[in-house]
Amino acid sequence: MADTARRGALAGRRPSGALLGVVPFFVYVTVFLIVPTLVVVVGAFIATGPGGQGALSLANIRALAQPAVTSALWHSLILSAVTAVAGAVIGALLAYAVSTAKPDGVLRRFTTSLCGVLAQFGGVALAFAFLATFGATGYLTNVLASTGLDDTGGLWLYEWNKGLMLVYLYFQIPLMLIVFLPAVEGLRPQWREAAETLGGSTWLYWRKVAAPILFPSFVGALLLLFTNAFSAYATAAALVSQGSPLLPLAIGGTLNSEVILGQENVGKAMALLMVVVVAAVMTLYAAIDRRASRWLAR
């Protein structure tokens, strides 16, 4: 009886304590996610031009059909898809190679730690590292030019479909390794042995068992890489100085441009477009991840 009363009292007390603990998180999410999202959503439907200042309008949404915006969206999608697929394939192979190393071995610990750092090494610092190496005055460019092996002057680095793809892969591959390694490690030795005792070869095990089991995790990780590239801004901004070939740069342009003024809400409409794309991809990711985690749960 006393026990029940105590449990009741505790049960009553626990949620409020737990809630108190997560208040800072909710404040953070409200200030830095919910409020900005609302500003974007509302702003996308508010006119800024002469005559319609402050009125509800679809003009900003209609502006998304402008060639500059559709082209930026297309480039962003291509860049994200290519670096996500390439990063996922290379990262998955690396993850498998790492999974075969001794679990507490130096190679494995070193590789996973390094990837943890590299996956977060983006932005201006990464752009600078590439500029210093492959840029117009980069030391490798100079070395190659002096030996006559390359006379392009490192200009390819500044193009979204060449240099930027390479730079993005620099953080996409390590990110894939970190995200995909737990899935590879989740493959149980019993599955391989069961397949073998039932008459299957190693190839057959990979084709009929391991690959189908890993597929949802692979697709999930690929989607994560896609959104990672799609929403990246700082690296692209530091490398690409001519025009706004990508959607995040185009949004930046509407806010920073000293030539075209009053386009902030068109920028918000573009941001809304990004939110829609990312939300769709992440919804798909969540659905796939649910299935993968059910199969690979330990």
Q: What is the DSSP letter of 214?
A: H
In the complex, what is the shortest distance from the CB of residue 183 to other proteins, in angstroms, rounded to a whole number? 12
| CA neighbours closer than 13 Å in the CB half-sphere of residue 21 | 6
Q: Which residues in this chain contact other proteins in the complex, by CB under 8 A?
A: 188, 190-191, 193-201, 204, 208-209, 212-213, 294-297
Taking the least distance from each CB to other proteins, the nearer of 214 and 274 is 214
Q: Which amino acid is at 3?
A: D
In the complex, what is the shortest distance from the CB of residue 286 to other proteins, in angstroms, rounded to a whole number? 18
In the complex, what is the shortest distance from the CB of residue 193 to other proteins, in angstroms, rounded to a whole number? 6
CB-CB contact of 157 with 135 (8 Å): yes
Taking the least distance from each CB to other proteins, the nearer of 53 and 201 is 201
- CB count, 10 Å around CB of 191? 13
Taking the least distance from each CB to other proteins, the nearer of 190 and 241 is 190
In the complex, what is the shortest distance from the CB of residue 176 to other proteins, in angstroms, rounded to a whole number? 22
Taking the least distance from each CB to other proteins, the nearer of 4 and 197 is 197
CA distance 228 to 261: 30
Taking the least distance from each CB to other proteins, the nearer of 14 and 188 is 188
Contacts of 82 by beta carbon, 8 Å cutoff, 6+ apart: 165
In the complex, what is the shortest distance from the CB of residue 210 to other proteins, in angstroms, rounded to a whole number? 10
Label residue 153 left, alpha or beta by phi (over 0 means left) and psi (-120 to 50 means alpha).
Answer: left
Quote the tokens at residue 194. 């069961």
Quote the tokens at residue 181. 């390694």
Q: How many helices (H) and strands (E) does the chain have?
A: 14, 0
